[in-house]
Amino acid sequence: MRNLLLLTIACSFMVITANGQTIAISKWANAALHEKPLEQAHVGISIYEPATGKYWYQYQDDKFFTPASNTKIFSLYAGLRLLGDSLPGIRYYENDTALFVKGVGDPSFLHPDYTWQPLLQLLQQTSKQIYLVPAVNLNKRYGPGWAWGDFADDYQPELNEWPMYGNVVRIYHHRDTSMLVPPLYDLEATADDTISSTVTDRDERNNLFFLKYNPKDKGITQTEVPFITGSVQQLRERLEDTLHKRVGLAVTPPAGAFKILHSIPSDSLFTPMMHRSDNFFAEQTLLMSAATLWDTISTDRCIQYLLDGDLKSLPHPPQWADGSGLSRYNLFTPRDFVTVLTLMYQQFPKERLWHILPTGGKGTMRNYYPEQFVHAKTGTLNGVVTLSGYLVTKKNKTLVFSVLVNNHHESATSVRRAVERLLTKVWKEY
């Protein structure tokens, strides 16, 4: 009888504590929601404690929002679940005289961030004739709903089955000297003493690059501009130019079984993908995931595979269009993000997630959360500010949260600060 009484008291205390948390957070959130910069915005908030299975706070967390780069959380989940410890670098088959290679979407090939290049070593060291086997790639060069006018912006490289150099050229300029790296295409440089900073661009339909510079500027500039990846024939030519050896085109693939050559550790891609919000890495993660599952590369098929399988438990089936969040076709609820983040927390070591996701003072959160109590992904588009991830309170409670803000008409910085103030109160009090 005494034990039953103690249990009843304990349960009552837990209910009172949980209610107190909800009441306090509701008070803070309501104050933020009725003040600038959130008062005219569309806002959704979900805060969940996985240890107890209880939601601490919910506000419009069943409504759909454009998530911007928070979409990368779902791409990260795909990569963690499907790619293993190292990325697939290539599918290959070799016989006595020939090496057949087929792209699988690895974005690290010849990327300046990665000095270890096992695929390049294989291609350089082989004495056999190299043949490029065209991959079955159902993707277009851009994701659905991307802005066509951003073709020359560094955050929107084209997508393909065999990226090289990150699918961008790097344009260097100093004084009156300009150059492309790699030197694959033509560059037209023009002096213009009316401009304040160097401007780079590309012809919309050709790999012709432009640079305008002020001759009075003595500094060194470096910019990145995406190149047109083009056909499999153009891919073959880029390989020949890089390897300085002939590469054939195998229209009919060999009958033998292809093996996978692995490249860099997966987390060495996932970490910059989340810290600097790398759109290209996120998109290619879904391409690699599809290539790992099938002999067909398809972002749509990979997304549907996950939604029908591991992510079948999502409370509100999302409209998931791309890997990076560049597309405004993406629609997710805050509770969807809390659900996938909880799955990640249950399936992968906390220390690994904490390393991959940026915290205060680092990456896209370098100017926020100096106490470093959150490990989360930011997201920004015009009128969109989002943040989803993990919050560790002062009393060492781990919470999963998602705050999605759409249609705001204030500065992105002011919205981020409002969200920061709310989450900081949760951290301090609990």
Instruction: List pLDDT tens digits, range 172-228.
Output: 999 889 999 999 999 999 999 999 999 999 999 999 999 999 998 888 999 999 999
Contact 68, 384 (CB under 8 A): yes
Say whether pLDDT at 7 is over 60.
Answer: no
pLDDT of residue 255: 84
Who contacts 109 (Cβ-Cβ below 8 Å, separation ≥6)?
A: 89, 117, 119, 120, 162, 163, 164, 263
Q: Is 75 exposed, middle or buried (0-12, 13-18, 19+ CB in 10 A)?
A: buried
How do residues 213-248 score in pLDDT, each as one tens digit? 999 888 899 999 999 999 999 999 999 999 999 999
pLDDT of residue 342: 98
Task: Go through the chain and tell me how many residues it has.
Answer: 430
The model's confidence at residue 14, banded by pLDDT at 50, 70 and 90, is very low
The model's confidence at residue 334, banded by pLDDT at 50, 70 and 90, is very high
pLDDT of residue 217: 87
Say whether pLDDT at 6 is over 70.
Answer: no
Q: Is 183 exposed, middle or buried (0-12, 13-18, 19+ CB in 10 A)?
A: exposed
Checking DSSP bridges between strand 384-392 and strand 199-202, what pairing results, if any? unpaired
Say whether pLDDT at 48 is over 70.
Answer: yes
CATH number for 18-80+272-429 (one of 3.40.50.620, 3.40.710.10, 3.30.1330.40, 2.60.120.590): it is 3.40.710.10
pLDDT of residue 9: 43
The percent of residues above 70 in pLDDT, for the chain, comes to 95
pLDDT of residue 192: 93
Higher per-residue confidence, 354 vs 16: 354
- Helix (H/G/I), strand (E/B), else coil: 209: strand
Domain boundaries, the chain: 18-80+272-429, 87-266
